[in-house]
Amino acid sequence: MIDISNKTEEDFLILTLGGEVDASSSIHLDKALGKAIEQNHKKILVDCNNLNYISSAGLGVFMSYIEDFQSQNINLVLFGLSDKVKNVFEILGLDQLLKISKNLEEAKSLC
Amino acid sequence: MLSNKHIVRISVTIAVISWLFLLILDLFILFEVSNNMNVGFHREASAFLLGLFFVALFLFYKIRIEKAESINFIDLLWRVFVTGLLATIVSFTIRFFYFILGSSNLAENTYLINFFYHINLGLISAFIISTLIVWKRLILYQKTKKLIILWQIFEYALLFSILLNFFGIEILGELAYNIIFFLLILLGIILSVNLKWVAYLNFKQKWKSILLIILVILYLIYFFINLRTYSADYGPVIITDLLDNLFVRALFGFILTYCIFSLLVILFNLPTSSVFEQKFEDVINFQRLSQSIQTGKNEEQVLEILLDSSASAVLAGAGWIEIFKHNKENKYLKTDNLSIKAIRRITEAIRKSKIKNLLETEIYSIGNVSKMTSSIKDSKFKSALLVPLIVQKKQIGIMALLKDVNEGFNKEIIDIIRTFANQACISIENFRLLGEAIENERYKEELKIARKVQQSLLPSDLISNTCFEISGFSVSADEVGGDYYDTYQLSDHKFVLVIGDVSGKGTSAAFNMSQMKGVFYSLVQLDLSSKEFLIHANNALSRCLEKTSFITLSIYIVNTRERTIEFSRAGHCPTLYYSGENGTSSFMENKGLGLGILRNDNYKNYVEVNQINYSTGDIMMLYTDGITEARNELNEEFGYQKLKEFLDEHATQDPKLIQENLLETLYKFVGGKSRYDDYSALIIRFK
């Protein structure tokens, strides 16, 4: 199960993820990110404080937008990742392609 | 035993011969009588021939009519009618002949009179005997043992009456003759109350039957009068007078009785006939509905049958079924006399009636709907009945039936319609369940194929060498996993090991895995460095994988001559390495990025190549994240730490044993085998 909520702060769009992102729930994450890009948000922050688990399908969603982020000058920063979740990103090497920060303030400064 | 065909032939022959002999004999007797000669035994012989003629006819019709396949009542009555018609036509022809002769000498010729009388005799006998057999079939329709016995008594009594004729009325005496005649008629009357066949006639058939029976009565009366006229006009010269015959009289009486009984019963049944027919049709419609599923009808066809059946069951003037289509315009099935415009007009009228709630709210079960019918204010129709159609607790549509009279739907009719609707809905439900079951089965079959493909992609034999021992396994309990490992020997001292994980599950995982295997075998032969291998693999897979798919892979090139391991990691979980020298294990960490994630030339910037030297007793454990992410009942992961501890503890064992112990440890951790198991590992121990 996944909970996704979004809010805008200044010119940031903050997506808050909660629960687990697995093969079935990754569809919702895909929709949320797709919508954010469609709405022309250039600064997207993903709050992972309540994210317990992400599967390879979930990582696949982030991965599939990397080119869009680069070509459309979109800054996406993940923050508040638990060690476990962060490790998953790191092992795959996604931490080299996505910006990951500790907290919201740091995430904003990275944008 | 003689076959029916033979009996028919023999009986026809006997009938014809006996009739001919009877004619000749009677003419001879007439000659004797008119010349005052002694008649002698000739009269008895004549009676015998007549009896033989009757029996032969009886046998003939018994087989022709009784054994006939057709049990159509109208057909049976039609046979009687045709036989009678034939006899009548011939009889009229004879009369016409006499009319032409006028009062000439020839007309008064007693031989000719007798000849024509015999023709009448033959045809009338054929008519009454064939009618007797038809009546038998009608009476014995839905027979009981008692009824059959009674009929047999009647038949034997008739046979007896034929025998009695030998003695002639003179010998028997008038009283005995009358008593026997009365008894026969009484038996006939008792049998005549069996008129069950009438109930199975529809309205049209009843009218036909009435017409045919009236004609039969007319024939009987005509024949009787005809015979009487002969007796009255030429009494003394008629040698064999049919009307003297007990058998013939009894048959006349019986046939007439049954005719009258049938006629009355059919007449009285006429008004209720439509009700019976309706019930019968209801039953047939019900059967049609319940069979529609087996005959491969689709949902819409089932609903069409429902509408047809319902409209005819209630004698409704018109009706329609509205099928709810989500996100699309609703579809209407309607009777021919309604237009879509009329439906809209009537719908509006229903919206103003007291059953409007049936149109406005979704109904989940018919049970809690007490009111389904109401009068409506419409130019053409006065009352409406609404029946919600519910399949799997969801309303799929609504049926509306209309009548041009007020309160046109009584409780009984509503019950029938509800039963129809229920049956149709059950058919549709079965239809859907069947579809789902097939779909499910197909999905399972697909998974089975995917599993087979996946299993076949894993190597059955691993490389072997004197410098190391190796063991590998892959377990996926239910779903198709995407784990992949393989080995390749480049030269006598150079070996390649890979382990990988394809994202996704099921068929797509198996498909991606086969691509990975293809890429592996193409590139590994080029003897590339581990980094070059990954760059090329990324390049190739970037063009094959779908947008959200990627593959993690670790590659190890073992050189047994230089005792080195060169390795690169493409996003795969870090390999565990046990150093025999240190007596502890650690994860081989280095930079890397999964294959297919970055689909351009920049990929090379994200992979490293590392090299280590190995020593005797070192163990390398390649695994997939299924192992580290295995969860126990408390939802805790097995994790890296436990894996490290496990290897430290079992480092002295050979790879095969380590493998067995690893699986045992995992099962113990997760609490038995489960359908989420998805473990793969490749364990190599250097000598």
Residue keyed to tokens 């049944």: B269
Structural domain includes residue B453: no
* B589 shares a domain with B665: yes
Tell me, what's the pLDDT at B479? 64
Whichever domain contains B578, its CATH number is 3.60.40.10
B549 interfaces chain A, CB cutoff of 8 Å: yes
pLDDT above 80 (res B288): no
pLDDT above 50 (res B40): yes
Tell me, what's the pLDDT at B1? 64
* Residue in A closest to B602 by C-alpha: A97
* Residue in B closest to A27 by C-alpha: B548
Final residue of a structural domain among B282, B312, B335: B282
* B426 shares a domain with B487: no
* B611 shares a domain with B581: yes
Contact state of B550 with A56 under an 8 Å Cβ cutoff:
yes
Q: What is the pLDDT of residues A99-110, one digit of tens each?
A: 999 988 888 888
Contact state of A59 with B547 under an 8 Å Cβ cutoff:
no
Which residue among A67, A84, A93 sits closest to B594, beta carbon to beta carbon? A93
* B469 shares a domain with B615: yes
Structural domain includes residue B50: no
Is the model more confident about B482 or about B96?
B96
Bridge-based pairing state of the strands B576-579 and B584-587: antiparallel
CA-based diameter of chain A, in Å?
33
pLDDT above 90 (res B85): yes
* B208 shares a domain with B257: yes
The pair of three-digit structure tokens given for residue B453, joined into one six-digit string: 């493909």
DSSP annotation of B572 reads: P
* Residue in B closest to A55 by C-alpha: B503
Contact state of A92 with B593 under an 8 Å Cβ cutoff:
yes
Residue keyed to tokens 């009258």: B260
The number of domains in chain B is 3
DSSP string, A63-94: HHHHHHHHHTT-EEEEES--HHHHHHHHHHTG
Is the model more confident about B546 or about B20?
B20
φ, ψ for residue B152, nearest 5 deg: -60, -40
B500 interfaces chain A, CB cutoff of 8 Å: no
Residue keyed to tokens 């297919």: B596
DSSP string, B276-337: HHHHHHHHHHHHHHHHTTTTT--HHHHHHHHHHHHHHHTT-SEEEEEEP-TTSPPEEEE-TT
Whichever domain contains B414, its CATH number is 3.30.450.40
* B307 shares a domain with B259: no
Final residue of a structural domain among B366, B400, B435: B435
* B609 shares a domain with B480: yes
φ, ψ for residue B552, nearest 5 deg: -100, 145
B6 interfaces chain A, CB cutoff of 8 Å: no
Structural domain includes residue B48: no
Set out the domains of chain A in order of their start, with CATH numbers.
Answer: 2-110 (3.30.750.24)
* B368 shares a domain with B256: no
Structural domain includes residue B31: no
Contact state of A56 with B591 under an 8 Å Cβ cutoff:
no
Q: Report ipTM for this prediction.
A: 0.89
pLDDT above 50 (res B369): no
B552 interfaces chain A, CB cutoff of 8 Å: yes
* B109 shares a domain with B204: yes
* B680 shares a domain with B551: yes
pLDDT grade, residue B260 (50/70/90)? Answer: very high
Contact state of A60 with B505 under an 8 Å Cβ cutoff:
no
What strand order describes the sheet that includes B576-579?
B468-476, B678-686, B619-623, B576-579, B584-587
Contact state of B606 with A66 under an 8 Å Cβ cutoff:
no
Structural domain includes residue B250: yes
Percentage of the residues of chain B whose pLDDT score is greater than 90: 35
Contact state of A93 with B606 under an 8 Å Cβ cutoff:
yes
Q: What is the pLDDT of residues B203-235, one digit of tens each?
A: 888 899 999 999 999 999 999 998 888 888 877
Residue A61 with chain B: CB contacts under 8 Å = 548
C-alpha span between B685 and B662 (Å, rounded): 15
Query: Is residue B488 packed enough to be buried (19+ CB in 10 Å), middle (13-18) or exposed (0-12)?
Result: middle
Which residue among A57, A67, A93 sits closest to B504, beta carbon to beta carbon? A57
* B233 shares a domain with B308: no
Residue B548 with chain A: CB contacts under 8 Å = 30, 57, 60-61, 63-64
Residue A55 near residue A79, CB atoms below 8 Å: no
Look up the domain containing B124 and give its range: 71-282
C-alpha span between B19 and B39 (Å, rounded): 20
Residue B547 with chain A: CB contacts under 8 Å = 64
* B396 shares a domain with B492: no
